[in-house]
Amino acid sequence: MDDHNRQIPPLLCDWASGMELARPQAGETYVLRVDLDPRPECDNLEQLLQWSVLSEAERARASRFVRPRDGRRFAVCRGSLRLILGQLTNASPQAVAFRFSPGGKPELAGPWPPGDPPLVRFNVTHSDDLALIAVSLDRELGVDLERLRTISEAARIVESYFTSAEQAQFAALEEPVSASAFLRGWTRKEAILKAKGVGLAGLATSYETMFGTTELTDKFSPAAPLPRIGEWWLWEASPREGYFAALAVHEVSRSGPNCLPADSPPQDLWLHGKQGST
């Protein structure tokens, strides 16, 4: 069985028990699911596992949130990112440093020269009590997550940031399908734009992602990407009931080895499904 069609085993990683995250190989993409409310009753941020690895600036930011829940979720998300990147780069989580690309995309800072690609590519998204963290060695990637809800400005947003074909498709949809379809179309577009490190202005209509209406699985399936959009592979999933996620991965490596033909998606792709301690 070839790499494209083989069954990918689940990625098991429980930070609390100290299990180590396997380092991705060239062409691989990992997506991990993080429960942002592992201890919803905890208002003392210092009791969180992730608190100890945050920078002083991150701790100050977490403490400034008006609602303790929001500060706790920020701390868990950023701390989990540090734990993951620390393991993948063989660095202490506290030593992980960040920089921004010219377009504002967060990326790893390191000892490599300015302008060189980072050692590990990553992207983060969160909505309410759930976050997704995507990592790869050699592929640009973007991930976006939205909780199901009604967006009162959906029609205006579609008119402003979606193509004429997308607008026509959305106009033909009725509630309640249109509410979920809008969020799925939004996550698809955002995933690509986040992967490129650019904003909506002037670029959203460059990628025609359309609106999803078919049933989703709870994991990104390596063998079932959406039709490729330009140089981007795109997947959808519902990592938890009432949530929609999209993942965009560049078809070829910008600077590292390209292990698959340009018309094949990345080798390995999965969604970490273990919940609880993060």
The alpha carbons of the chain give a radius of gyration, in whole angstroms, of 19
- Per the structure, the count of domains in the chain is 1
pLDDT tens digit string along 63-73?
Answer: 999 998 999 99
Averaged confidence pLDDT in the chain: 80
Range of the domain at 225: 27-272
- Say what the pLDDT of residue 21 is: 64
In a domain, 185, yes or no: yes
In a domain, 21, yes or no: no
In a domain, 265, yes or no: yes
DSSP character at residue 255: S
Tokens encoding 277: 């301690």
Residue 142 has pLDDT above 70, yes or no: yes
Residue 38 has pLDDT above 60, yes or no: yes
Taking the C-alpha atoms of residue 151 and residue 164, their distance in angstroms, rounded to an integer, is: 20
3-state SS, 198-215, equals CCCCCCHHHCCCCCCCCC
- Say what the pLDDT of residue 251 is: 78
Quickly state the pLDDT bin for 88 (edges 50, 70, 90): confident
In a domain, 15, yes or no: no
Residues ≥6 apart with Cβ < 8 Å to 179: 148, 149, 150, 151, 154
CATH number of the domain enclosing 172? 3.90.470.20
Taking the C-alpha atoms of residue 42 and residue 46, their distance in angstroms, rounded to an integer, is: 9
pLDDT tens digit string along 182-241?
Answer: 999 999 999 999 999 887 765 667 888 999 999 998 888 777 788 888 889 899 999 999
Q: Left, alpha or beta for 27 (phi > 0: left; psi -120 to 50: alpha)?
A: left
Quickly state the pLDDT bin for 181 (edges 50, 70, 90): very high
Percent of the chain residues topping a pLDDT of 70: 77
- Say what the pLDDT of residue 19 is: 42
- Say what the pLDDT of residue 26 is: 75
In a domain, 238, yes or no: yes
Quickly state the pLDDT bin for 13 (edges 50, 70, 90): very low
